[in-house]
Amino acid sequence: MSEFDAIQLITTKREKGELSTPQINWLIANYTSGVVADEQMSAMAMAILLNGMSRREIKDLTMAMIASGETLSYAGLAAPTSDKHSTGGVGDKITLPLAPLVAAFGVAVPQLSGRGLGHTGGTLDKLESIKGWRASLTNDEFHKQLAEVGAVICAAGAGLAPADKKLYALRDVTGTVEAIPLIASSIMSKKIAEGTSSLVLDVKVGSGAFMKNIDRARELATVMVQLGQDAGVNTSALLTDMSTPLGLEIGNALEVKESVEVLAGGGPSDVVELTIELAREMLRLAGKTDVDVAAALKDGRAMDKWRQMIAAQGGDPDAALPEAREHQVILAPADGVITHLDALQVGTASWRLGAGRARKEDPVQFGAGITLHAQLGSEIKAGQPLMTLHTDEAERFSRAIEALEGSFKIEAAAVPAPRKILLDRIDG
Ligand code: URA
């Protein structure tokens, strides 16, 4: 006879009750082992989405998900560890220049990353556009690279928070992704199990993010920072704008190209600003405050680390990146300032061009995506290129263009304005 039963727990949450620590531990352990069925966990996820969870319940849920699998430790590593996690956005390639940049200052970056699903891109898909690069490492390879190079970006092994892997896939198909207790426990269980000693959360706000408004983003950030601190991970969060794409390139190889420009001391100012801001924060949490982060992008130190990091995983940093076979240019219809350029619509169009996948097992097109020729707040003249669409399959253009309908606004009387990236911060 089992200690609890799933129906009783679902009913408690449906009636806005609180689940006890033993109940949550039982639920997650039995969901992971298959005793609690997917349909029961779907009902529970929906009850949590509708009725929420107390801070204590969220902490218990996170701890139970960590306990469902293995945890990593860097006890033998001389350098401190620091990681960053973004809640996901359009054109968000920041991990690529950030990991080697932070490693250039002697702080080790153990980045276990994921693949894209829906309109947001995945770091592993981007890096796989580099010839020879390998996402899967053994535990030994991972630790060796962390000690020798100081930065690793690779796929999380199946043993890390398996309860989250199962639950995330279920949420994705049951309309229950956007619940704060579920997002917070999903992200933090993986990051705490990963074993980093400090963590910066980049919580995205706006149309291209899970959190569409700043109050919800602040709540999510506060819950996650608290979870990290409670688990002994020095955690803080930056709230950053995702109402419009980051940088000028959206799509796997296109984003690698832009990241390499940033590592070479160039690149769009919003990508550079956010990379530097997050690097400073990661270094601060790891105890390094008196450092000139921008200089390491200009003088090649971050680029050297990038080349070592890519080569250590079999990648050729000098190989030409894949390019799409077909291109279509969208021209500006009027003179003026771009006062609206919607992240979600641009992300969806890029996805439809082949940069993303509709199902987990689909391949991505490495060269597909969108190049913006102008950003939010910049001036443009009628007839100038506004964006270029890239795909291997010309029949994808029409659905992408449909997604872009109403995605931008050009106003003659508006004044050009630089984009505001950093909206708020939550310290632990
Ligand atoms: N990323 C995750 O890992 N989990 C979520 O729930 C949302 C974003």
The CATH number linked to 25 is 1.20.970.10
394/368 same-domain check: yes
25/143 same-domain check: no
Convert the pLDDT of each residue in 11-66 to its tens digit: 999 999 999 999 999 999 999 999 999 999 999 999 999 999 999 999 999 999 99
pLDDT at 428: 79
Residue 92 designated active-site: no
For the segment 155-162, the average pLDDT, to the nearest whole number, is: 91
Residue 190 designated active-site: yes
CA triple 132-97-156, angle to 5 deg: 60
- Catalytic residue (choose from 68, 82, 129, 186): 186
Treating both helix axes as pointing N-terminal to C-terminal, what angle do 38-51 and 6-14 enclose, rounded to 10 degrees?
20
Probe residue for ligand 1, chosen from 58, 66, 87, 176 as the CB with the greatest number of ligand atoms within 8 Å = 87
What are the pocket residues of ligand 1 if the criterion is a CB atom closer than 6 Å to any ligand atom?
A: 87-88, 168, 182-183, 186-187
The answer to whether residue 274 sits within a structural domain is yes
- Catalytic residue (choose from 166, 171, 204, 352): 171
Residue 186 designated active-site: yes
Residue 421, pLDDT above cutoff 60: yes
Probe residue for ligand 1, chosen from 168, 194, 242 as the CB with the greatest number of ligand atoms within 8 Å = 168
Residue 218, pLDDT above cutoff 90: yes
For the segment 209-225, the average pLDDT, to the nearest whole number, is: 95
pLDDT at 117: 63
pLDDT at 416: 82
pLDDT at 305: 98
Convert the pLDDT of each residue in 261-282 to its tens digit: 999 999 999 999 999 999 999 9
Cα(335)–Cα(155) distance, integer angstroms = 45
* Ligand 1 centroid distance, CA of 183 (Å): 5
330/275 same-domain check: no
Q: Please state the atom number of ligand 1 nearest to the C-alpha of residue 114.
A: 3
Q: What whole-number percentage of the chain has pLDDT above 90?
A: 89
Q: Please state the atom number of ligand 1 nearest to the C-alpha of residue 87.
A: 8
The domain spanning residue 107 has which CATH number? 3.40.1030.10
pLDDT at 258: 98
- What is the spatial order of strands in the sheet that 82-86 belongs to? 82-86, 198-205, 234-241, 422-426
Convert the pLDDT of each residue in 163-192 to its tens digit: 999 998 899 889 898 899 999 999 999 999
For the segment 318-335, the average pLDDT, to the nearest whole number, is: 98
Least confident of 112-126, 216-230, 252-266, 365-379: 112-126
The answer to whether residue 151 sits within a structural domain is yes
Residue nearest to atom 7 of ligand 1 (CA): 183
Q: Among all chains, which residue has been given the structure tokens 């000690």?
A: 147
* Ligand 1 centroid distance, CA of 128 (Å): 21
222/272 same-domain check: yes
Q: Which helix (H) or strand (E) holds 391?
A: strand 385-391
Residue 413 CB partners (closer than 8 Å, separation 6+): 336
What are the CA-CA distances from residue 331 to residues 250, 388, 403 (Å)? Answer: 18, 9, 16
* Ligand 1 centroid distance, CA of 161 (Å): 12
The answer to whether residue 417 sits within a structural domain is no
Residue 121's pLDDT band (cuts 50, 70, 90): confident
pLDDT at 169: 87
- Catalytic residue (choose from 60, 92, 125, 164): 164
Domain of residue 394, residue span = 326-411
pLDDT at 118: 66
Convert the pLDDT of each residue in 363-411 to its tens digit: 899 999 999 999 999 999 999 999 999 999 999 999 999 999 999 999 9
Cα(396)–Cα(247) distance, integer angstroms = 23
Count of domains forming the chain: 3
Contact indicator for 77, 42 with CB cutoff of 8 Å: no
38/107 same-domain check: no
* Ligand 1 centroid distance, CA of 398 (Å): 31
Treating both helix axes as pointing N-terminal to C-terminal, what angle do 343-350 and 397-404 enclose, rounded to 10 degrees?
170
Q: What whole-number percentage of the chain has pLDDT above 70?
A: 98
| Last-in-domain residue among 297, 318, 339 | 318
41/136 same-domain check: no
Residue 240's pLDDT band (cuts 50, 70, 90): very high
290/365 same-domain check: no
383/348 same-domain check: yes
Residue 164 designated active-site: yes
* Closest-CA residue to 114 (of 177, 176, 157): 157
190/218 same-domain check: yes
193/150 same-domain check: yes
